[in-house]
Structure 1
Amino acid sequence: MHSADVNECNYNPCPSDGFCHNIIGEHWCSCRVGKRYVKQSNTCNPDTGFIIGVTMGLFGLMVFIVITIFWGQLIIQKRKLNKVKQEYFRQHGGLLLFDRMKSDKGLAFTVYSLAELIHATDNFDNSRILGKGGHGTVYKGIIKNMPIAVKRCALVDDRQKKEFGQEMLILSQINHKNIVKLLGCCLEVEVPILVYEFVPHGTLFELIHGKNHALQISFNTLLRIAHEAAEGLCFLHSYASPPIIHGDVKTSNILLDDNYMAKVSDFGASILAPSDKEQFVTMVQGTCGYLDPEYMQTCQLTEKSDVYSFGVILLEILTGQLPLKLKGSETQRSLSSIFLSAMKENNLDAVLVSHVKGEESMELLRGLADLAKKCLDMCGDNRPFMKEVADELNRLRKLSMHPWVRIDLEMDAESLLGGESTSGYEIELNGYPMGESENQPINPRSSYYAR
């Protein structure tokens, strides 16, 4: 006959914070979760392995949840950003631009993504800045081992946004050796970004006034640069279709390439010549010292506004002075006022830069001064066209290259500029290389106009 089993757990053989399990003939002890029973000391000690495992598991779960939320938000934000980019692209006329690029296989124009331009400019790093102006900031970039100039434009109005694609179509077809080539644009941002060819040797402003002034470029070279810039502006006015008004002609917008050949830049800030003469430019554009006084009064930007600004450039070449001074009386601040006053008093010699007076004949300098004076006429209708300015500069260049030959300037000046000249010489042109005109019409069927 078997004796009844005694419940050993009644004698509390296990730790007070543990559990006793009775079995036939014996018992065994256990501890709550997170603790481990140690038989030798009959205690429940913390189970470090279990705690570490649970902690790591919880930590891993939290990391997983955080990463999931992060990526989820990232995907949502990316979708929102793509929608915003698509909307900007649509607003700026990107669809029209793409359609035209597909139909016109020969259109040398690229629509860049924002990511491409960020990579090209090291995220628009300050060390890449080439220059800043009223129309935006220009950065140097590298795409496919080719240097480019990337311009982040200042804010534009709704009208400009809608017509940006159309204007890019027209501007992209401008192909002239004296105009900076517009390579492409980015439409994925609120304000479009323009991409131009990179022109390495600074600006005419730096050559006359700035860091390159020490080079002491000859007057003949400056005259050549002025002539080349005039040819570029003449092309925009007379051979682009529709005509393009630059709107901000100045020495800092005339860039110089490896051979110091002039290239007119920043015409992406230009406006297309309005088809309706009653249209006005509501926001004054341009740079103080170069602004056409007639434009300031009428708010109508015309080709002759560019001619006035170019006249100021000729003054900078003649005088070596800035177009506007911050000190002095009102009449002494403006270079054009100082110059016109000197011309009125027949005292041109007083404003000419010293090294130019010693380098060139007064007849040549007076011919250039007469041209500048005509460009600066207060009445736009009395100013010469840019074509006439370019032709006159070309004639003066030939005179400077052949100073030993006298020519009758009076007849040429009257026919070119419709005014009287104070000089008289004659030049023999036999054997002189006459450059072929590059002024061929572009896009003659285009009928896009700014509104």
Structure 2
Amino acid sequence: MDPNIFILFFLLLSSVERREAAAPTLCIQDTNPDRCGNISIQYPFWLSGQQQPNCGLPPFELTCRNDSHNPVPVLKLLDFYFYINQIFYDNQSFQLTTSKSADEECPIPYNNITSYTFPFTLSSSNKRVFFLQNCSSSKNLSRLYQNITCPSFRWTAYFGGEYKGPGQLNSDTRSCRLVVVPVLEYSKGNYSERLKAGWLFNWTAPNCTECLKSGGRCGYDESTASFMCICKDRNHKSSCKNTKIARKFIIAGVTASAAFPALVFALGFLYYKHKKRQKLSASSESFDSEDGTKMDGHFQTHIFSYNELMEATECFNSSRVLGDGGFGIVYKGELRDGRTVAVKRLYNKNCKGVEQFINEVEILSLLRHQNLLSLYGCTSRRSHELILVYEFVPNGTVADHLHGDRAGERILTWPMRLSIAIETADALAYLHAVDPPIIHRDVKTNNILLDHSFHVKVGDFGLSRLFPLDATHVSTTPQGTPGYVDPEYHQNFQLTEKSDVYSFGVVLVELISSKPAIDISRQRSDIKLASMAIAKIQNHELDDLVDQDLWSKSDEMGKRMITMVAELAFRCLQSDGDMRPTIKEVLEVLRAIEKGKSDIWTKDDDDDGLMKNKIDFSPDSVAGKWVSESTTPNTSE
């Protein structure tokens, strides 16, 4: 027996206490809160560039700007920047504005501010005022509304006063762009003072009380996407624990071990045998086939042992099940290094299962995109079972929130849904642009996951195909989920990039309707959501398609944007693939809709781009130019 084994064993025991005390604390303990100007920055907020990201929650990232008389904290929401005037930590609210200083000239808002993404919501105590901008006709407007003059304006603008709903507007305002914003209070008089005072937002965040009481500082653990309490010794899940008792037990354990040589010898021998078995196991599992090809070398991903994943999921305990799909059950797991992961255990280790397993590993190990699910590793193909290990995405799927278990929470506001559409399209555009291009083949809301900030992570690449650069299509047996499969692919077995566009069109309809892609409880003609959407859009029955709660809570601009997304979905759902836009074009249109552009470019018959004919979108214009003989969907899916 090698005497170094005994030395190593004692070192391992005696180092436990040191490791406990030396665990890194990224967010430095400080009894004095950080400040930006005269505003205290505390959890859940944190200052980018001055603090580590784990000092607060990701959505609460602030930037301290010095472009005015005093430094001002700035919050970014959906690509817009807002200046924070005050933060009220006691009731979880804060006051913000679009104006950066009290002496700013013409503080006119350029975008509607009606609702924002979780965890931020507009306070019910706010009032609303409205402005009319870029009016093509000024007839009678000067008589009805306050004319705003400003040297920097290139267009006419009017202040309309308190906004009570579309009913208070008249035909003279139809040529104007309506902008509705909240204010703390409304009184007739100087509108600029009301805007500079700002409005109130509320926030939702994990409670920090217990951590503060225990002498810790509240923070965020990126590896588990959860709250953590930052203490002097190490990080804890909820509060700083008394680690003195734990250290006494450790010291007692080391002393007792030294007093029992026989026990030490036995443990040392077992440790030696365990390490030897681990080495042999790793050696055998690192080979993917009989020819000795290393799987991790081929796929550029980490190889997990089956036993390690058994341990991570508590023997695949049913209490850890996150969901199941067509190919396997997904469990929540805790790795030995502390990371929280999603562990996908494939149902069968047959030829089809192995093909899907290899296909997903091969594709995901080569991809890097902020809206694609990250693969942490997998088991060897020769392992007891085929298992994939992904990053853990805590907020479920889009399907869960639209028409699943979490639909009743009504978390997904319209801005959030539009953001989900944009990020999903961005991920698909990346897949179609890589060399060689990748066709996802199973785009659906169940495969679109949402992280802690409700950003998109597209997953499940088991059906994906690498697309040859010199090919116009790939002939393959149609596979996918009913309700999402491209009818052209179903008819002629030819897979193209436009197959993903069709599936994404169904996703767009789900986002505006909150209805599932297939529902046998609906009328026969409406069982497939794609068929239902095409019929409703063609017959100008958008009110019957859109989620009534979403529609009723949207202002005029919101309804206009929903209408434009419906038109885009209609274009994606054309039965003829050549009539559909590319996913890159779809992404461009969605981004234009988000920016509030009222004229979106549509595809011209003799041009490949979306840059020819303007359409002034409105409920009456839905499908106006996109109706064609090829719009009748195939229902034999």
What range describes the TM-score normalised by the shorter chain of this pair? 0.5 to 0.7
Unpaired segments of 5 or more residues in structure 2? 1-276, 619-637
Give distance in 1, aligned partners of 2:360 and 2:529. Answer: 34
Task: String of CA shifts for 1:83-131, please: whole Å, max 9, x gaps.
Answer: 9x7698317x982434457xxxxx5x21111111111111212111111
Q: 1:148, 1:201 → 2: CA distance?
A: 13
Aligned counterpart, 1:153: 346
TM-score, normalised on structure 1? Answer: 0.66
2:579 equivalent to 1:382:
yes
| Superposed displacement of residue 274, structure 1 | 4.7
Describe the shift of the 1:87–1:408 C-alpha distance in structure 2 as closer, same or farther (beyond 3 A): closer
Q: Partner residue of 2:429?
A: 234
- Two-structure CA RMSD over aligned residues (Å): 3.1
1:142 maps to which residue? 334
Amino acid aligned to 1:385 = T
Equivalence for 1:117: 309
* Structure 1 equivalent of residue 625 of structure 2: none
Query: How far apart, in 2, do the equivalents of 1:173 and 1:142 lie?
Result: 24
1:172 aligns with 2:365: yes
Asked if 1:394 is matched to 2:594, the reply is: no
- 1:60-209 mapped onto 2 (5 Å cutoff): 89-90=288-289, 95-100=293-298, 109-143=301-335, 144-155=337-348, 158=351, 161=354, 168-187=361-380, 188-189=382-383, 192-209=386-403
Shift of 1:262: 0.8
Q: Output the amino acid matched with 1:325.
A: D
Map of 1:172-321 to 2, 5 A cutoff? 172-187=365-380, 188-189=382-383, 192-213=386-407, 214-239=409-434, 241-274=435-468, 279-282=474-477, 284-321=478-515
| Partners of 1:242 and 1:254 in 2: CA distance | 23
Q: Hey, what's the Cα distance between the residues in 1 that align with 2:569 and 2:493?
A: 23
**Aligned-partner Cα distance in 1 for 2:334–2:292:** 24
- Partners in 2 of 1:378 and 1:129 — Cα distance? 38
| SS in structure 2 of the partner of residue 137 of structure 1 | strand
- Cα distance in 2 for residues equivalent to 1:230 and 1:86: 37
Offset of residue 269 of structure 1: 3.9
In the alignment, the residues of structure 2 paired with residue 152 and residue 259 of structure 1 have an alpha-carbon distance, to the nearest angstrom, of 27
1:136 Cα deviation from its structure 2 partner: 1.5
- C-alpha deviation, 1:309, in angstroms: 0.9
Distance across 1 between alignment mates of 2:356 and 2:461: 15
For the residue of structure 1 that corresponds to 2:494, the secondary structure is: coil
Residue 378 of structure 2 contacts residue 389 of structure 2 at CA under 8 Å; is this kept in 1?
yes
Letter in 2 for 1:206: D
Shift of 1:328: 4.3
Residue number in structure 2 paired with 1:433 = none
Task: Report how far residue 417 of structure 1 moved.
Answer: 3.6
Q: Displacement of 1:228 after TM fit?
A: 0.6
- Asked if 1 retains the 8 angstrom alpha-carbon contact of 2:499 and 2:577, the reply is yes
Which segment drifts farther, 187-196 or 177-186?
A: 187-196
**Compared with structure 1, are the counterparts of its residues 417 and 212 closer, same or farther at alpha carbon in structure 2 (3 Å cutoff)?**
farther
CA drift of 1:280 comes to 2.9
Change over 3 Å in CA distance of 1:228–1:416 after alignment to 2: farther
1:345 equivalent to 2:539? Answer yes
| Greater Cα radius of gyration, structure 1 or 2 | 1
The question of whether the paired residues in 2 share the 8 Å contact of 1:97 and 1:166 is answered with no
CA contact (8 A) 2:601 2:612 kept: no
More strand, by proportion: 2
Report the AA paired with residue 145 of structure 1: G
> Using a 3 Å threshold, how does the CA distance of structure 1 residues 110 and 364 change in structure 2: closer, same or farther?
same
Tell me which amino acid in the other structure corresponds to 2:368. Answer: N
Aligned counterparts of 1:354 and 1:319: Cα–Cα separation in 2: 8
C-alpha deviation, 1:194, in angstroms: 1.2
Answer yes or no: is the 8 Å Cα contact 2:473–2:495 preserved in 1.
no
Given that 1:97 and 1:165 are in contact with CA atoms closer than 8 Å, whether structure 2 keeps it comes out as no
Secondary structure of the equivalent of 1:89? coil
AA matched with 2:330: V
C-alpha displacement of 1:226: 1.1
Amino acid at match of 1:376: L
1:270 and 1:226 mapped to 2: Cα distance?
20
SS at match of 1:131: strand
Aligned 8 A contact 2:484 2:502 in 1: yes
Query: Shift of the alpha carbon at 1:156?
Result: 6.7
| Higher RCO (Cα < 8 Å, 6 or more apart) | 1
Shift of 1:224: 0.5
TM-score after normalising by structure 2: 0.47
Show CA shifts across 1:262-311 (max 9, x none).
110112442222566675323x4221111111111122332211111111
For residues 36-88 of structure 1, the C-alpha deviation after alignment (integer angstroms, 9 at most, x for no partner) is xxxxxxxxxxxxxxxxxxxxxxxxxxxxxxxxxxxxxxxxxx9xx989x7698
**Matched-pair contact (CA < 8 Å) for 2:402–2:514:** yes
> Alpha carbons of 1:221 and 1:262: their partners in 2 closer, same or farther (altered >3 Å)?
same
Q: Higher helix proportion, which one?
A: 1
Specify whether residues 115 and 269 from structure 1 end up closer, same or farther in structure 2 by C-alpha distance, changes over 3 A only.
Answer: farther
CA contact (8 A) 1:305 1:380 kept: yes
Aligned residue pairs, count: 329
Using a 3 Å threshold, how does the CA distance of structure 1 residues 247 and 419 change in structure 2: closer, same or farther?
farther
The SS at the match of 2:536 is helix
Higher mean Cα deviation, 244-253 or 411-420? 411-420
2-side partners of 1:313 and 1:177: how far apart?
20
Find the aligned partners of 2:602 and 2:486 in 1 and give their Cα distance: 27
CA distance in 2, matches of 1:141, 1:243: 32
Return closer, same or farther for 1:279/1:235 CA change in 2, 3 Å cut-off: closer
**Cα 1:140/1:390, change in 2 over 3 Å:** same
Counterpart AA for 1:369: A
Q: Structure 1 CA distance, aligned partners of 2:538 and 2:472?
A: 34
CA contact (8 A) 2:379 2:385 kept: no
- Structure-1 separation of matches of 2:467 and 2:456: 24
After superposition, the Cα gap between the structure-2 partners of 1:125 and 1:281, relative to the gap in structure 1 and judged at 3 Å, is farther
Give the unaligned 5+ runs of structure 1.
Answer: 1-77, 102-106, 400-406, 426-451
161-170 vs 328-337, greater mean Cα deviation: 161-170
Counterpart Cα distance in 1 of 2:479 and 2:307 = 31
2:57 corresponds in structure 1 to: none
Q: Could you say which residue in structure 2 is the equivalent of 1:404? A: none
Provide the residue aligned with 1:69 in structure 2.
none
Q: Distance in 2 between matches of 1:420 and 1:365?
A: 20
Identity of aligned residues (%): 36
